[in-house]
Structures are given as structure tokens and as C-alpha cells.
Amino acid sequence: MFSKPKGVLFCLVLLFFMLINSSLGKAMYVVPDKESSSVKQGDPSAILLYGGYDNPQEGRQELMTLYSLIRGYCSKVSLVRIDNYRSDLLDNAQYVFLAGMSQEQVRTDIGLDLQKFSGVIGWIGGGIERYANYGLMTGFAVDGYTSKFAELHYPFRLINRKVGESLLIGQRGLTPKLRSLDEQNVSTYGSLSDGTRSYAYALRSGNVWCVATFAKEGTDSPVFRDLLSRMFNKPAETPRVFVKLNQVSPFIDFAKLEAEAKWLNGQGVPFIVELRPIFVNTDLPQMQRYYQTLQHVQEWGGTPVLGNLLGWKLPDEWQSDISGYLSIAGVDTMTPAKLMDASLQAYLQNHIYPVAFSGPPDLLFDPELSGVLNYFSMYVQNGAWQGYSRDMLPEQTWKGTFIPDITSVKQDIDNIDQRSIMVPDLTQAEQPAVLDFDSTTEEDRLHAVVLHLKETGVGFVNLGRKDSRVTFGDTHIAVSNGILTVNDKRPADLSNQVISGGGGENPTAISGTNKRIKQTMYFVLILAGLFVGLFIVAFIAGKRINRKKHVR
């Protein structure tokens, strides 16, 4: 049928093409490296300067929402009242934001410092016209104020919104009417209309961004989040979220927690598990079952984070009794540091590895918790602001990766058991944020929201693959490139797995980077195959040449 050389050549060529066809027919998935969060990219820091508001309580809520959103992009954000401003605050900052300034007197020192500032200036709301003499209004003007704006038109960078979308906004206080004077050098983002005339929602002139209005919630909240991503030069990409199960403690229904963890694992969705601090004897049967459950949850894709103490109230108020828990053996005082040390040690001894801290944003301002916060390089927000904050100068501010909560939601059209299910209103370019669910009582909502997000193409971020560090006493838990170590050693129970093994950000999709890697490997494989093929052909052809001509 074939001569021996031809038969060998045919088999080799056939094997080569089978190899190529097999490789091209498979989708190679490389876990996306989302480790380079905004904190990693240049490690920016910011100053948030604020003035007074007509409604102090509502104004403070808006300020704290603004703080959390900015904090998601920066490793450090200092909160400073304009009265407490000092000239060196901007020295090490790359961003400065000003809010609530419309009724404040002009500060010459602030004006001069802003004039010299080479970073990004974000002016939120009114008052910028008072600083026009300091070069902050090049190419645009403020044509007075109005409270009649009712419609906002904005060019979203979205996959689940129209490119240009009109939104009805609620009643606002006096809002500046921003107008561009130089269309070539001033960029306009969106427009506000009072029914008769339109003005800019936001303008950019050089390093100055001026935003007419901001609300802590409402239809325009996604607009501001999208605009903020532009200020931080974040490219548009698939919307991404963290899924978090809250209220995990020894007193919950373990079977329900396991069921939710298994379901998320089956959906390819990694998730966060917020653990309550515990201070009980680990020999109790209930505690052993609790630890075993958490070990399984880790195996199914759950990344543990340590929640705040239940005894925490507004600043400096600690209960002498931690509700729902036994007394703390061997702990002589109820200081936050001793409580957290005991809790971290208890979890670690039972092969549970918290990689971050979790709590409301208020805790960032509590001086009693400053030592505890320094244990952690990552902070996962849990819930809205509860009512406490204070000025924090740069030297007092915790530095690390802050992951904000999603504060605005829209109502999905689907109903489950006649109950409305709320789903997040996500923009395409904002930072990944946290979606919270109760670990045992929100099964319907969890399933509905996760399935909805998967259908709309939203990605799910794996917190366990983000670089982090937890240090307490002589112990440190670290995650680097998805590998967890304790005191620089890989725990034996994790030797064959990556912590929070799960589907990465979107197990069913290949990112642009992965596609380029795939294409490059195909090219290299084909090139190598051609060289091998030519070598084989040359070898067989040489065999047919008269050997007498080559052998003496």
C-alpha cells in the first residue's frame, strides 16, 4: 500500500494535523489576572475636602457615599473639613475632590494649592466659580444656579444600557448651570435639562473635572459612578461583582449554608463568606461542626473574611458582653485588638483562613479600631454608613484595598413568590463592588440575582485570587498570585488547591488577554510543527540518496 518511508511520513503528517486540530478545537481558559486593582495601578491616594450642606444629615450621607466610591479606587482617602485644611495635605496625593463648597468662603491657601496641583481635581456641586481666579475654570462658565433640573441625558459606557440614555432625576437643591466655552479643549459628559434649556452635567478642562450634582442614591447614581471611573482613567469592560454571604456564625443553619455554597459552586460563581468573630472553646461539638462546614465552604469556592465585632456601636462604645457568644477564656480585657487576635487564632487553628476585614465604612474612622484595621491590607464594605465619621488626616488614614458595597439598585421585572427581587444597576466601567446576601435566609434572592447577572453577561470576581495580607502577633496570612500561605508556608490542607477555587471572574468567557495568549500559542505550535515537518521530509529524502556518495 505504502512504501515504508512514505508510510512513516504519512503517519507523522497525519498525527501533526490531528494535534493542530485538537488544539484549535479546545478553548483554553487562563484565569484572568485581576490582581492589578486600582490600588495596585500606581497606588493612588486622594484627599476629600468638604464644606457645609443645607441639610447636614442628608449632606453627610451623600458625603460618606462619595467617600466609599472614591475609596474603591484609592489605597488611601483622607477626609478633611475645609476649616481644617493645611497646606501640606496635597503633597502626596494624586487626586483631590471638593464637595459641599457652594456656601463656603474662598480660602486663598486652597486656591493657590489647587492652582499648583498637578494631579486630578474633582469638583462636585457648586462653588467652583468662586475659585475662577485660580485657573480652575479655563474654558467653561457657571451661568447661575437652578433647582428645576428634571432630566439627565448621559452617554453610558455600558453593555446593558443605551449609549445615550435620558433619566428622570428627583428634586435637587440649587445646582450650577455648567456651560462649555471651548468645545475643542473642554470635554462635556452628559446634560441636565429643565425642560427648556440644557446644560452640562459634567465638564473636564485640563486636570479639572466639574460635576454639577451628586446624590447618594437615585436614577443618576450609576451616572456618577460611570463618570468617576473616567476620572480614574478606567477603561470600559464587562461589569463585575463580588457575591458575599453574610452573618455566618456557629448559630446559623449549617445545612442551608452548605446548600448555598454548593449551588454557587455549581454555577461557577466564587463568593465571599463573612465570618462573625468567635471566642468560644473549640472543643465544643457545635463548634467542631461549624469549622467542618467552613472547611467545606472554602473547598467549594468561598473566601473567608472576618466581620466586625457585634458589640460595636457608635465610636468608643463597647459592650462588656458580646451578644450571643460565650465568655472569652484567657482574654483579660475587651479591647478590639485582643478580641480580634483571639478570633483570628481560633479560625486559623481550625484551617479557616480569613484574608480581609469586613464592616460598614464607619469603622474606618473609629480610633478604637485603628490598630485592628492595620492587621488587614484589604477591607470589604458591608452595608451603608451607619452614622459615624470624623476627619482623618493622611497620617491617620488606613491604607489598603477597599472594596465598596453596591448602594444603588433597580427593581427587576421578575417576581418570586409575589416578592420583588432587587438587582444591581451596574455600569460597565466602575470598580467591582459587593452584593450582600444573608447566608441562610435569602435563597430566592440569591438565586434570582445571580442568574440575572449571568444572563446579562456580568462577571463574578474571586476575592481569593487578589493579593492580600493579614498580620496579627507573630502570624501572617498572605495571598499572592492566588496562592495562600501562613507564615510563608503552604498549609497542608491547601497543598493541592488554590484558595477559593471557583470559576475565576467568568468561567464561561475568555478575556481579551487570554484570547491573545491562545492565538500566540496556536501560532507557536503551527510554526514548530512546520519545522518538525520539514525536518522529517528532509530526513526521509536524504535516506533515498545514494549513500555511497556520503560514506567514505
Most distant CA pair in the chain, distance? 104
C-alpha grid cell, residue 105? 468662603
Spatial separation of the C-alpha atoms in residues 396 and 376, rounded to whole Å: 15
Spatial separation of the C-alpha atoms in residues 341 and 473, rounded to whole Å: 8
C-alpha grid cell, residue 539? 530526513
Spatial separation of the C-alpha atoms in residues 210 and 204, rounded to whole Å: 6
In tens digits, what is the pLDDT along the chain, a chain of 552 residues? 445 455 544 444 444 444 444 343 333 222 333 333 333 445 799 999 999 876 677 778 888 889 988 998 999 999 999 999 998 999 999 999 999 998 899 999 999 999 999 999 999 999 999 999 999 999 999 999 998 888 888 887 654 555 556 666 666 778 999 999 999 999 999 999 887 899 999 999 999 999 999 876 666 677 888 888 899 988 767 778 899 999 898 888 999 999 999 999 999 999 999 999 886 565 677 788 999 999 999 999 999 999 987 655 444 333 433 334 443 444 445 678 888 888 899 999 999 999 999 998 889 998 888 889 999 999 999 887 888 889 999 999 999 999 988 754 444 434 434 345 556 666 555 678 788 898 888 888 899 889 988 888 888 999 999 999 999 989 999 999 999 999 999 987 765 554 444 444 443 333 333 444 444 455 555 666 666 666 665 655 555 555 444 444
- DSSP assignment letter at 395: G
Spatial separation of the C-alpha atoms in residues 167 and 292, rounded to whole Å: 49
The pLDDT value recorded for residue 409 is 46
Spatial separation of the C-alpha atoms in residues 211 and 222, rounded to whole Å: 14
What's phi and psi for 460, nearest 5 deg?
Answer: -115, 125
Spatial separation of the C-alpha atoms in residues 265 and 152, rounded to whole Å: 40
The pLDDT value recorded for residue 222 is 76
C-alpha grid cell, residue 161? 444600557
What's phi and psi for 377, nearest 5 deg?
Answer: -95, -5
